[in-house]
Structure 1
Amino acid sequence: MPTSVAIDDYLKTIYHHTEWQDDPITPSQLAAELGLAPSTVTEMVHKLAAQHLVSHRPYGPVSLTAAGRLRAASIIRRHRLIETWLVREFGYAWDEVHDEAEVLEHTISDRLLEGISARLGHPRFDPHGDAIPDAAGAVVRSPFVILAAAPVGHVGRVLRVSDRDPALLRALEAAGLDVGHAVTVTAGGVSIDGGAAVTLPPGAADAVWLSA
């Protein structure tokens, strides 16, 4: 049987794929995200389906069942609470926390996790703006638009910045763009908190989500 960590990695990846858009993930996309051979992913998907954690038809997309979504939300809750804890309590930068959280999410006890949540005031979002599921797996998320799809003149608050590329996170921080800031979309970039327009680094338009 696959290990618990391997199962969690699959479920997290499927969950992440539909967190900020609606199209379900395909087995080939899942293989690309995990960096695994398609045959390996196909075998694992069959095992997850046998455990009633995912639903899948041959050549069709992969979706989480209710049980799979609850388990995915649980491990994502751990990951994002740990990231928030590392930033607030230990002075980590937002581009430094992902790898640490990947390790710690599998090791700390439920008691410690809930203690961390209480100490932090039960935060709803992590340092990147991703929603932290509650103990029942529920999340609260505002209507959003990705920066790449926002028209010139759109005014919104930065809801989320993808944590996929640490170098991009550092570049955005250097440009003054962070979660919570108000931005106005301009022809060549954005105006942050009413200031002069700034040109954002390559890739930023596909990594920043604004309130709709």
Structure 2
Amino acid sequence: MKSQPSSSIEDYVKVIYSFTEWQDKPITSSQLAARLGVANSSVSEMVRKLKDQGLVDHRPYGAVRLTAEGERLALTMVRRHRLLETFLVEELGYSWDEVHDEAEQLEHAVSETFVERLAEKLGHPERDPHGDPIPTPTGRVEHPSAFPLGGLDPGHAGRITRISDDDPEMLRYLAREHIGLDTAVEVVRRKPFGGPLVVRIGGGGAAHEFDVPDSIASALWVHSDAPHEGCTIESA
């Protein structure tokens, strides 16, 4: 009988997957250490363990990539995490900046039966409170057609479809400014001399211009039915 992966292994494969979910660039050991808040030596030891278990491919000084088996485990954990985040917001009244750490604790403790009953209770949601897609029980993921706000040309309009949850303070700031999922946004211009991006937020008479620094522009993803000329895909 195959043993249950440890919580550390589950955390590692989930972080590796999440790093590459919205970009093609693979994660390095040093980036993995920074994201997990552990020493490089600890990462090296764990990566060797993951490789021995057939969960990652890795060569010395190279990037760390999930195998098919590693990706299956990662998607299981991502599904748990994002369903739990959705439950905490929709059913328990958590704000979107509070749920990540709470879900990190809970995802290792719940059973698959609990996860599937939770999904049924929530009506099988397709995205979490930050717009990240929730994998199906079979591991299928439907990513929206979306591009980072900072890579869009002036005149491009759409709706915010994903907001990176890496920075809780940024999420609180956006909430205060009434900027969230499905908010209408249009790129107006870039202020000169490396200034912020100017966007128009909202629609109709409630629309207003808003200065967006690069740190926020890279965290906001805008839905687009077709790639817009000049769009670039950047790291979230």
What SS does structure 2 have at the residue aligned with 1:133?
coil
Aligned partners of 2:21 and 2:188: how far apart in 1?
27
Equivalent position to 1:127, from 126, 129, 151: 129
Other-structure match for 2:199: 190
Distance 1:189 1:123 in 2: 33
Structure 2 CA distance for aligned equivalents of residues 104 and 171 of structure 1: 26
CA distance in 1, matches of 2:151, 2:198: 13
Per-residue CA distance 1:39-76 (angstroms, 9 max, x = gap): 22111111100000001112111100011001011011
Match of 1:210 in 2: 222
Task: Return 196-205 or 17-26, whichever deviates more.
Answer: 196-205
Unaligned runs of 5+ in 2: 190-196, 225-236
Per-residue deviation, 1:189: 2.5
**Map of 1:59 onto structure 2:** 61
Q: Which residue type is aligned with residue 78 of structure 1?
A: R
Aligned position for 2:211: 199
The whole-number CA distance in structure 2 between the counterparts of 1:72 and 1:203 is 27
User: How many angstroms does 1:199 deviate by?
Assistant: 2.2
TM-score scaled to structure 2, two decimals? 0.85
* Partner SS, residue 203 of structure 1: helix
Which residue number corresponds to residue 178 of structure 1?
Answer: 180
Q: Aligned to 1:114, which of 113, 116, 127?
A: 116
Alpha-carbon contact 1:26-1:62 (below 8 Å) kept:
yes
Could you say what secondary structure the match of 1:178 adopts?
A: coil
> Which stretch shows the higher mean deviation, 67-76 or 153-162?
153-162
Shift of 1:30: 1.2
TM-score w.r.t. the length of structure 1 is 0.94
Deviates more, 1:25-34 or 1:130-139: 25-34
Contact 1:153 1:186 in 2 (8 A): yes
Q: Distance in 1 between matches of 2:176 and 2:213?
A: 10
Deviation at residue 31 of structure 1 after TM alignment: 1.5
Deviations 1:126-175 (A, max 9, x none): 00001111111110012221111112211121111111111110111111
Tell me the alpha carbon deviations over residues 2-46 of structure 1, each in whole angstroms, 9 at most, x when there is no partner: x71110111011001111100111112112211222222111111
1:46 maps to what in 2? 48
Residues 1:20 and 2:32 are matched in the alignment = no
Residues 1:31 and 2:28 are matched in the alignment:
no
Q: Distance in 2 between the 1:81 and 1:117 partners?
A: 7
Residue of structure 2 aligned with 1:80, choices 79, 82, 100:
82
Name the aligned partner's letter for residue 204 of structure 1: I
- C-alpha RMSD over aligned residues: 1.7
Q: Which runs of 4+ in 1 moved over 4 A?
A: none
State how many pairs are aligned.
Answer: 212
Q: Aligned AA for 1:192?
A: I
> 1:88: Cα distance to partner?
0.7
Say which SS state the counterpart of residue 160 (structure 1) adopts.
Answer: strand
CA distance in 1, matches of 2:29, 2:180: 33
Structure 1: how far apart are the matches of 2:214 and 2:174? 10
Where structure 1 has 5 or more consecutive residues not aligned to the other structure, the ranges are none
Is the CA contact (8 Å cut-off) linking 2:150 and 2:214 kept in structure 1?
no
Instruction: Give SS of 1:210's match.
Output: strand
1:209 is matched by which residue type in structure 2?
W
